[in-house]
Amino acid sequence: MLGDEDYELVCLSQKGDVDAFGALVERHQKNMVNIAYRMLGDYEEACDVVQEAFLSAYKAIRKFRGDSMFSTWLYRIVINISKNHMKQMRVRLQREGPSIDVPIETEEGHLKRDPPDPIASIAEQFEKKEIQTKVQSCINSLDDEYREVLVLRDIQGFSYDEICDILKIPDGTVKSRIFRARESLKDRLKKAFGDL
């Protein structure tokens, strides 16, 4: 845990200092929410998942031995909870059928059922948002194992070593998954946008 900027706060939290853990929440909440959001594609759900992740982290913080960076440990928790959440969502969808919020697939890609946000009436904003929605929809359609490496590498910018630590998979596996994830995403984006 040497060189970990979270070291002191983690030690205090392990002794039961709730405020110290609050400081850690403050420090990592943005990354956590972004990881969860890009994994799930839904902001509200992402916030719920990150709350769960922080609660789990607080419960288990005494078991944290400092074998990796605290942030790595924390992101591993949020990735795992997000994956579990996605599995539950899929099971629910299979049982109940698609909800009105779930994007529907068309020949041109994924579309949201929601009507356009009235605030984004400006053409540029609308276009940008539309592009981001499409990209996120394409990410959402990736397999879990490709989605997580893509989010961690290309969206969050973690190094290969960090991704190996977070996902606990070998370096070669990370590289091959990233290659396949990008290839797969490229194909889906081409399909969604017509031409890149």
Partner 1 sequence: MECNVIREKLSAFLEGAVSPEEKRLIGEHLPACQDCSDALEDLRKTEVLVKGLEKVEPPAWFKQKVMARIRAKEEAKKSILHKLFYPLHVKIPIEAFATVLIAVAAIYIFKAVEPKMKYTAPLFPGPVALAPEEKAIPKKDLSPGAKGDLARSEHKRDKGVITEGKKSAVAEVKEGELKIEPSKPLQGESPSEPVLAKKEKSIEPRHEKVAKAAESPKPKASLSQLPSLGPPTKQEEIMASKGAGKEITWELGATGHPVSVAAEKKAGLMGITIHVMDIKMAREKTENILGQLGAQKIERKSLQGTEIISAELQAEKIKDLFEKLVSIGEVKEKGAPSDIPKGNTGIRIEIVRNH
The residue ranges that bind partner 1 (CB under 8 A) are 16, 18, 21-22, 25-26, 29-30, 32-34, 37-38, 43, 46-47, 50-51, 54-55, 58-59, 131-132, 135-136, 139, 150, 154-155, 175, 178-179, 182-183, 185-186, 189-190, 196
Q: What residue spans of 42-159 are helical by DSSP H?
A: 43-60, 70-96, 123-140, 144-150
Shortest Å distance, C-beta 182 to partner 1: 5
- Identity of the residue, 91 or 108, whose beta carbon is nearer to partner 1 in the bound complex: 108
Shortest Å distance, C-beta 2 to partner 1: 27
- Identity of the residue, 21 or 73, whose beta carbon is nearer to partner 1 in the bound complex: 21
Task: Give the C-alpha distances (Å, rounded to integers) separating 148 from 19, 42, 117, 145, 158.
Answer: 31, 15, 29, 6, 11
Tokens 């109940």 correspond to: 96
- Identity of the residue, 99 or 132, whose beta carbon is nearer to partner 1 in the bound complex: 132
Q: Is the dihedral of CA 130, 134, 136, 137 positive or negative?
A: positive
Shortest Å distance, C-beta 64 to partner 1: 16
Tokens 């990735």 correspond to: 79
Q: 3-class DSSP state for residue 21? A: helix
- Identity of the residue, 69 or 149, whose beta carbon is nearer to partner 1 in the bound complex: 149
